[in-house]
Amino acid sequence: MNIKRIGILTAGGDCPGLNAVVRAASKNALRQGIEVLGFKNGFDGLVRNEFIKITDQTASGILTLGGTILGTSNIANPFKYTLSPFGTPQEPRDLSGVVLHNFKENMLDALIAIGGDGTLHMAQQFIDLGLPIVGVPKTIDNDLAATDQTFGFDSALHIATEAIDRLHTTAQSHHRVMIVETMGRYAGWIALRSAIAGGGDIVLIPEIPYNDDVIVNYILNRKSKGKTCSIVVAAEGAKNEKGEQTVARTVPGSTDAIRLGGIANKLSDMIESKTGIESRACILGHTQRGGTPTAFDRWLSTLYGAKALDMVLENKFGYMAAFHNFAMDEVKITEAISNLKRVDPHGDEVSCALKIGMSFGSRAIG
């Protein structure tokens, strides 16, 4: 297949490293005489036919930038389109045919779709309709199967760890319990690794159900030993023993309508009322998604972007660039989205945390 023009889009939530992927894929393409169109705001750009032409000048200077110069959307699903003026949350429309038309109209030979689980699900639907698409895994949650690490995760982990470091001093000064809420959706990678790296005392993750009394008793036991403060790191998707998560709101039309959040406030109220110890909640939220990517994420994103263009040239459509054992390869997108990669409750990282005295607020594990 003679590749003359490709499209690139960034969809789903933003994260550090997106621009580095766009830069690497574009530079690889431009140096081989391939035109590059960057579609705005994820798949919405293919619906509305809105794009920019990416040149060497466009790709210059964006390696260190957070966010994405193309814009993104986590609600623009062409198969259930809810955005004005073409659809509404009450009456979503299937505009996949419009995407197919615009792809052909722009004489594209391939599309590189950069995104997480929801984006890759949509990409697979278009692949099934005949579009030549290569995927690049993006999520700070690090929950995509079939790759060792997604770009953006290291930056989010760094931000969460630094926040925990800073909260230690205020917790010690005021003899408080500080509850740090991290992102991660249904996987506990950010919470667990930042708690280990930052010296958290309790870590709550979706994979290990927690019990209020276990948390309270652990904190009171620390106090009895002269520990006047405690740090609790809670993943936004942590579940109690009843399987309940803390839901902030729902967003109709999104690929994942549930917006988790607020567990830190709930835990703060519970801990203070049951222990009498002053407690404060710190919700890190979107600070974990923004800003300059770490050196590791810039490096990893560049590898992903260059690999994605190589896959286009090799006609590896329906595949996703993957990172295994510090080398690049590819896996089928269907394999990547078949299961979420989650923390193993019996794995080495959980075992390590227990050995150094951390609690998971669980009666079963500690």
CA angle in degrees (0–180, nearest 5) for 295-299-304: 145
Please, which residues have CB within 8 angstroms of residue 354's CB and are 6 or more apart in sequence?
360, 365, 366
pLDDT of residue 34: 98
In this structure, the answer to whether residues 17 and 130 fall within a common structural domain is yes
In this structure, the answer to whether residues 186 and 257 fall within a common structural domain is yes
In this structure, the answer to whether residues 137 and 210 fall within a common structural domain is no
- Residue 297 annotated to the active site: no
State the residue range of the domain holding 21.
Answer: 5-151+291-336
Q: Answer whether 69's CB lies under 8 Å from 125's CB.
A: no
Q: How confident is the model at residue 343 (pLDDT cuts 50, 70, 90)?
A: very high
State how far the Cα of 115 lies from the Cα of 122, in Å rounded to an integer. 10
Min mean pLDDT across 40-44, 65-69, 241-245 is at 241-245
Q: Answer whether 43's CB lies under 8 Å from 77's CB.
A: yes
Q: What is the tally of structural domains in the chain? A: 2
Q: pLDDT digits over 7-19, tens only?
A: 999 998 899 999 9
Q: What is the pTM of this model?
A: 0.92
What CATH number corresponds to the domain at position 174? 3.40.50.460
What CATH number corresponds to the domain at position 119? 3.40.50.450
**Which listed residue (44, 117, 141, 143) is catalytic?**
141
State how far the Cα of 143 lies from the Cα of 149, in Å rounded to an integer. 8
State how far the Cα of 147 lies from the Cα of 125, in Å rounded to an integer. 21
Assign residue 358 a region: left if phi > 0, alpha if psi is -120 to 50, beta otherwise? beta
In this structure, the answer to whether residues 227 and 94 fall within a common structural domain is no
- What is the arithmetic mean of pLDDT over 142-161? 94
Q: Which two tokens stand for residue 196?
A: 């280990």
Strand order in the sheet with 35-39: 51-54, 35-39, 5-10, 110-115, 133-137, 319-324, 327-332
